[in-house]
Structure 1
Amino acid sequence: MSVPNIWYLIKFFTEERYADQFMAGELYLNTLDYFRQVESADSDGRADLTEGIAMWWQPHDLVMKINFPGMGEVEITKNDLAGPVSMSFHHHNNLHLFCVYAIHTTGFEVIDGQLSLSPEQVDELQAQLQIDERCMQFGKFAVITPAVPFLAQLKTALAGEHHRAQAKLVEYYNEETFHGEIPLKEIPFRKQKRFSYQKEFRLCVFPRTSEEADNASPITINIGDISHICAKVESSQLPELIQLKTEPEPPLRTN
């Protein structure tokens, strides 16, 4: 399988002052449990009741037996279930997450930092670069930053503050067909396919102490000013800014 190439990261903001804070290097991280329980009046796609799922079982492949004191054993089969059964671990609730949209490509050769493709691949590349209109609901303002320098600055800041963290693209599973357990280390980075349009890159920061593990409050990590590598735009401008430009091959020369 080809390794994805991440080119740019986009962070959406409801207010311009939050975008400015981000460009000043302040990253605001909410907890995983926040995204599970947040109520979104405009259904902008941030809320996810299935966030942090560890096990997802389809009804047709599940039989559960539960013992209740004084009642004996109760068996639950597909006839008793209206949909899939899920389980999650409590200790994931207070993991802190920083989520951004990732412009990335898969399946194309990269030479000297540039994509190399045939004319037949142009439509596929354009489809991979396209930003779904639903993402514009995340906020009026967007900050675009090249991935490599941003992640390098982030890595330095995390090490300086002795944070234990992991960052990578989210993988999406088909909630209608998937049946089984998600590997423990992958749980914060798996979401259901209905969210795949968000193309999310996620930073997960783990608690350093038991006190932090019990703290359900958001945290802020300062990575230093990044305004020199960022561009702030209105979200509505993104489709016209993220356009594919190809350079035709020079014509053959004949003597």
Structure 2
Amino acid sequence: MEDPYKIFRVLIKFMDEGYVDSFLNDGLLFMNNIDYFRSYEDADVALRGDIREGLAATYKAEGLTITLGNHVVEGAVGKVDLRYNHEGDTNIYSMTKISDGKILEAGDSGLFLSNKFIKFGNRAVVISGSNIIEFENRLRNALAKDVNIYTPREDNVLAKQVSYLSREEHHGQMDVFDKFSDYSWQHEWRISFNQKQAAGPYPLKIGDLSDIASVFEIESLIREPLKIVPNNL
């Protein structure tokens, strides 16, 4: 039996209505970089901004020895975070992608999306079922044709579901597809790459998406739960 946590039927982009046409008609994915999200100030905690975005590693101080040359640095407490200088230039684009496993995990009442999504705008563009595969194919083709982008990752992965880690318990390496569990309500699927020519935002266009996407008001979308119901019931 296939792992339900690896089956995805719902892909959503939450946005203001002013961005819907460019997303649908041009497939415009406006990708800010990690420095943008690190410095973004939200009224709410764990929304868009994340000062720990792009960490290379985080360690518990009590399980760590820090040395400078021959000198051992003592007195570190809490968590020690490490990041690469260049990581802030990495461009990212975030969508919500929900697995069957997460829906089943929510129980008979179904999975309700967080009310926090309302802070992202008033529209939700939904790509579902086999259209997700078509979206990913169009994305893959656009990335392959764009000579200005690359990834420093050894596995060459440019898009992946985000893994959520415990801030208190995690002791080890991280990468651009890792975030802390405060953000787990977002069910984030992320596109990530670097530019060869410049830094800053990157307007990636993957082409017309109007044939595979539907638009909803966010409030109406989150009002009802996501459920998996057999066709014969």
Equivalent residue for 2:93?
98
Q: Which has the higher Rg, Structure 1 or Structure 2?
A: 1
Q: Match of 1:148?
A: 133
Alpha-carbon spacing, 1:55–1:237, altered in 2? closer, same or farther (3 Å): same
Distance 1:77 1:245 in 2: 52
Provide the secondary structure at the position in 2 that maps to 1:65.
Answer: strand
Which residue does the alignment assign to 2:60?
58
**Aligned-partner SS, 1:53:** coil
Distance 1:102 1:64, change over 3 A: same
User: Structure 1's 245 and 172: CA in aligned 2 closer, same or farther, altered over 3 A?
Assistant: closer
Q: 1:194 aligns with which of 163, 182, 185?
A: 182
Matched, 1:177 2:169: yes
Q: Could you list the per-position Cα deviations for residues 155-211 of structure 1 after superposition, in whole angstroms to 9, with x for gaps in the alignment?
A: 1122222343610100011111111223xxxx110000111111000001222x2x3
Correspondence for 2:150 among 155, 164, 187: 164
- Tell me if structure 2 keeps the 8 A contact 1:145–1:229: yes
Q: Match for residue 155 of structure 2?
A: none
CA distance in 2, matches of 1:55, 1:123: 31
Q: Does 1:23 align with 2:24?
A: yes
Out of 101, 116, 120, the position equivalent to 1:138 is 120
Equivalent residue pairs, number: 220
TM-score normalized with structure 2 length: 0.83
Q: The residue matched to 1:77 in structure 2 has which SS?
A: coil
TM-score normalised by length of structure 1: 0.76
Q: 1:230 to 1:59 in 2, by over 3 A?
A: same
Q: Residues 245, 170 of structure 1: CA spacing in aligned structure 2 closer, same or farther, 3 A cutoff?
A: closer
Match of 1:244 in 2: 227
Q: Distance in 2 between matches of 1:191 and 1:10?
A: 19
Which residue matches 2:154? Answer: none
Judged with a 3 Å threshold, the aligned counterparts in structure 2 of structure 1 residues 29 and 248 are, in CA distance, closer, same or farther, namely closer
| Alignment partner, residue 223 of structure 1 | 206
Identify if the C-alpha distance between structure 1 residues 148 and 77 changes in structure 2 by more than 3 Å, giving closer, same or farther: same
Shift of 1:42: 4.7
SS in 2 for 1:46: coil
4+ residue runs over 6 A deviation: none
Determine if contact 2:109/2:225 at 8 Å carries over to the other structure. Answer: no
Q: CA RMSD in A?
A: 2.6
In the alignment, structure 1 segments of 5+ residues that lack a partner are 109-120, 251-255
The alignment partner of 2:62 has SS state of helix
Alignment CA distance shift 1:11-1:122 (3 Å)? closer
Percent sequence identity over aligned pairs: 27
